Amino acid sequence: RHGATGIKTTTALTYLMLFVALLIALGFEFVNGFHDTANAVATVIYTHTLKPTPAVVWSGMWNLIGVLVSTGGVAFGIVALLPVELVINVGSGAGFAMVFSLLLSAMIWNVGTWYFGLPASSSHTLIGSIVGVGLANSLIAGSHTFGDGVNWAKVNDTLAALLLSPVIGFVCAGGLYLLMRLLVRAPELYREPPKDQPPSFWIRALLVLTCTGVSFAHGSNDGQKGMGLLMLILIGIIPGVYALNPGLSAAAVSQLHATSISASSVLDRLSAGKTLPPADASNGLNAFLKTSGRLSATTWAALATTNREITTDLDGKTSLNDVAPAQRGTVRSHIYQVSATISKLDKLKAFTNPDEDKALKAYRSQLDGATNFIPVWVKVAVALFLGFGTMIGWKRIVVTVGERIGKTHMTYSQGASAEIVAYATIEAATVSALPVSTTHILSSGVAGTMFASGSGLQTATVRNILLAWVLTLPVATFLGAMFFAFGFRIVSSFHT
Tens digit of each residue's pLDDT (9 = 90 or more) over 187-211: 999 988 988 889 999 999 999 999 9
Q: Are residues 48 and 110 in the same domain?
A: yes
Question: What confidence score (pLDDT) does residue 339 get?
Answer: 96
**Would you place residue 496 in the very low, low, confident or very high pLDDT band (cuts 50, 70, 90)?**
very low
Q: Is residue 2 included in any domain, yes or no?
A: no
Question: What confidence score (pLDDT) does residue 333 get?
Answer: 94
User: In this predicted model, which residue has the larger pLDDT, 197 or 396?
Assistant: 197
* CB contact at 8 A, 257 and 317: yes
Question: What confidence score (pLDDT) does residue 88 get?
Answer: 84
406 — phi, psi (to 5°)? -100, 170
CA 468 from chain centre, in angstroms, equals: 20
Cα distances (Å, whole numbers) of residue 391 to 31, 198, 251, 458, 472:
11, 21, 45, 27, 25
Indicate the pTM of the whole model. Answer: 0.84
Percentage above 90 pLDDT, the chain: 47
Question: What confidence score (pLDDT) does residue 299 get?
Answer: 94
User: In this predicted model, which residue has the larger pLDDT, 266 or 158?
Assistant: 266
- Total domains, the chain: 2
Question: What confidence score (pLDDT) does residue 168 get?
Answer: 94
Q: Are residues 180 and 302 in the same domain?
A: no
Question: What confidence score (pLDDT) does residue 6 get?
Answer: 43
Residue 1 has pLDDT above 50, yes or no: no
Average pLDDT score, the chain: 87
DSSP class of residue 369 equals: H
Adjacent-strand bridge partners of 406: 457
Residue 145 has pLDDT above 80, yes or no: no
* DSSP letter string, 51-111: -HHHHHHHHHHHHHHHHHH--SHHHHHHHTTS-HHHHHTTTBHHHHHHHHHHHHHHHHHHH
- Residues spanned by the domain of 79: 11-236+375-492
Q: Is residue 242 included in any domain, yes or no?
A: no
Q: Are residues 139 and 220 in the same domain?
A: yes
Question: What confidence score (pLDDT) does residue 207 get?
Answer: 95
Question: Among 461, 477, 422, 459, which residue's Cα sits nearest to residue 117?
Answer: 461
User: Mean pLDDT lowest for which of 45-49, 211-215, 460-464?
Assistant: 460-464
Residue that finishes a domain, picked among 317, 350, 371: 371
Q: Are residues 17 and 76 in the same domain?
A: yes
Residue that finishes a domain, picked among 371, 403, 429: 371
As a whole number, mean pLDDT of residues 459-484 equals 87
**Would you place residue 144 in the very low, low, confident or very high pLDDT band (cuts 50, 70, 90)?**
low
Alpha helix (H) residue ranges in 290-409: 297-314, 325-347, 354-371, 376-403
CA 109 from chain centre, in angstroms, equals: 17
Q: Is residue 243 included in any domain, yes or no?
A: no
As a whole number, mean pLDDT of residues 357-377 equals 94
Question: What confidence score (pLDDT) does residue 480 get?
Answer: 95
Residue that finishes a domain, picked among 338, 371, 404: 371
User: In this predicted model, which residue has the larger pLDDT, 91 or 407?
Assistant: 407
Q: Are residues 122 and 252 in the same domain?
A: no
Q: Are residues 386 and 365 in the same domain?
A: no
* CB contact at 8 A, 143 and 149: yes
Q: Are residues 284 and 392 in the same domain?
A: no
Q: Are residues 107 and 212 in the same domain?
A: yes
Q: Are residues 384 and 342 in the same domain?
A: no
Q: Are residues 30 and 146 in the same domain?
A: yes
**Would you place residue 466 in the very low, low, confident or very high pLDDT band (cuts 50, 70, 90)?**
confident
